[in-house]
Amino acid sequence: MENTGPCGDFEKIMVDLESENQIANVAGTNHASTLIAEGKIPEPQLLCRLISGLASNLEKPVHEFAIKRKIYKTLVAIRKAINRNHMNMDSSARLRCLQDHASMVRMWTTQGQLVAVKMVCDIFRLSPANINNTRCVTTFASLMLSPYTTVVHACEDALLSLPPIPGFAFTIARAYCHILIAMPPQSSPQICSVFAMLGRLNQIRMTTVEVDHPRFDDVAVDVLGCLANCKLVVQKKVLNLVVGLLTLKNVYDVLGILNSELVMAASANIHIEYQQMLEKAIRECHSAYPESIPKFTLDPKYAVFTDCICYIKDIMNNNPLLQSQLLKGLLRMLCHVKSPLVCAAAIWTISVFSKSLAETKDAIATLSCLFKDLLDRRKIEKQILGSEMEDEYILPTEYCGVTVQGAQGERQQPWLMEMEELLFVRIGLARQVDGSYDIASSSKSSASSGYPHKVSLELSDNLAFLVHSGDALLADFVENRLSKLVMKAESYNEI
């Protein structure tokens, strides 16, 4: 067994190592290296302090490479001495040793790292409170990224054996997220490390029960911070992982971030492939949790409009970049609408997706002009019939129609053909191979040129017949949506 070095020598070494003086640091390093080489090591309590002092000097940028190399060799020699002598260090002392040079753990040999994995697991089992110790968790996270396959497998086995410790996998996941967000990698080696960390996060998601942790929902939002990395390969892996981390509690926040990121990417003219990746992730969020899309609330008397509204609502929600163009297209092509169902769906969409003061004012002006006769007629009817007759409607045959057979043999709703004609023929919407939508370039140029703020029902074709039919239910619905638009415009003016 190595000799125990005189406390006085090691105390002096510690004073030098903990000094702010670079020369003293070097002297302390040389002195420690000499004593350790002679087989002298301090008592366990002082040994932890020595390891901490050496590790802190290893991380100082002012030291030359030769000094750092000597520090590293000294630490390796200390570890070998500990293993050879089976030093009786209690769990708290061993924990401090790991904590104080956590950044070096991956530089150890395979056997040394395996010992560290076992040590960390033992410490957590004996004292689960250590899960709140950031540096100890970082040590384990570092070991999970070891270049040695045997160490990685040992970490995987340990991870599966530790779920009884509340929050362990969650804390490891958060540690990875913080590392990724703090240092967005750019070089190839760093990207490899990011891939490894994202892979470990995915493994945690798939192999632990930590999804029940009350804050595990935050992990998906944290991972999205890694989109700051400009590498498409990283961004793609991040988005794939986030979709796997979705829960009912976090999907709304995730959608908000993805939509904001998509708008920013489009406005900054960022690579089109990245925009497509974001759109795909948004669609997958909606597909995984369709109930996460804010539901529209309609008065029960308007229930007949629900299916038609849902059809166009899904398209608008899943294609946020097209919302503005679709909004302009609906206002421009509203004059071609034939049935009250499609008309109501278009009006609902216009009222909900007018997101700016200018869009809201245009919507109010257009709808007020086109439906003035219908609204005036309904107002007179209410005056004649009285308020008790307001909610009694005789629905025209257009609400029922005839269900037709589709091209694939399925039965279609009577309004579907007209809605598809409005969107795909008149507005120019086109479905892409990946399931997303786009608008033909010719239609985009028409939309960008704007639409008249003052329109006339006399210039419309199908809509004129619908307005003159005096549909009471449609009239009340138009009045309802116009009131919503007016309230929206007033709220914009107050800002």
- What CA–CA distance (Å, rounded) separates 124 from 126? 5
- What CA–CA distance (Å, rounded) separates 298 from 471? 18
- What CA–CA distance (Å, rounded) separates 384 from 426? 39
Please state which of the ranges 4-18, 185-199, 225-239 shows the lowest mean pLDDT: 185-199
Rounded average pLDDT over 116-123 = 75
Q: Count each helix (H run) and each strand (E run) in the chain, helices first.
A: 23, 6
Rounded average pLDDT over 305-323 = 84
Predicted TM-score (pTM) of the model is 0.48
Task: Please report which confidence band the pLDDT of residue 107 belongs to, taking 50, 70 and 90 as the band edges.
Answer: low
Residue 361: per-residue pLDDT: 92
Two tokens, residue 75: 């630490």
Residue 128 has pLDDT above 80, yes or no: no
Residue 403: per-residue pLDDT: 44
Stronger pLDDT, 345 or 65, i.e. the higher one: 345
Residue 97: per-residue pLDDT: 54
Rounded average pLDDT over 20-35 = 88
Cβ contact 198:158 at 8 Å: no
| Region of residue 273 (left: phi > 0; alpha: psi -120 to 50; beta: else) | alpha
Residue 492 has pLDDT above 60, yes or no: yes
Task: Please report which confidence band the pLDDT of residue 405 belongs to, taking 50, 70 and 90 as the band edges.
Answer: very low
Task: Give the angle 60-61-63 at the CA atoms, nearest 5°.
Answer: 80
Cα-trace Rg, the chain: 34
Give the burial class of 308: count Cβ atoms within 10 A of its Cβ; 0-12 exposed, 13-18 middle, 19 or more buried. Answer: buried
Backbone phi, psi, residue 438, to 5°: -145, 170
- Point out which residues pair with 41 in neighbouring strands: 4
Which amino acid makes up residue 319?
Answer: N
User: What share of the chain has pLDDT > 90, as a percent?
Assistant: 12
Which residues lie closer than 8 Å to 445 by C-beta, 6 or more apart?
none
Please state which of the ranges 247-251, 272-276, 348-352, 388-392 shows the lowest mean pLDDT: 388-392
Q: Which of 235, 257, 244, 258 is nearest to 211 (CA)?
A: 244
Residue 495 has pLDDT above 60, yes or no: no
Task: Please report which confidence band the pLDDT of residue 134 belongs to, taking 50, 70 and 90 as the band edges.
Answer: low
Residue 76 has pLDDT above 70, yes or no: yes
For 433-446, the pLDDT digits (tens) are 777 788 876 555 55
Residue 67: per-residue pLDDT: 85
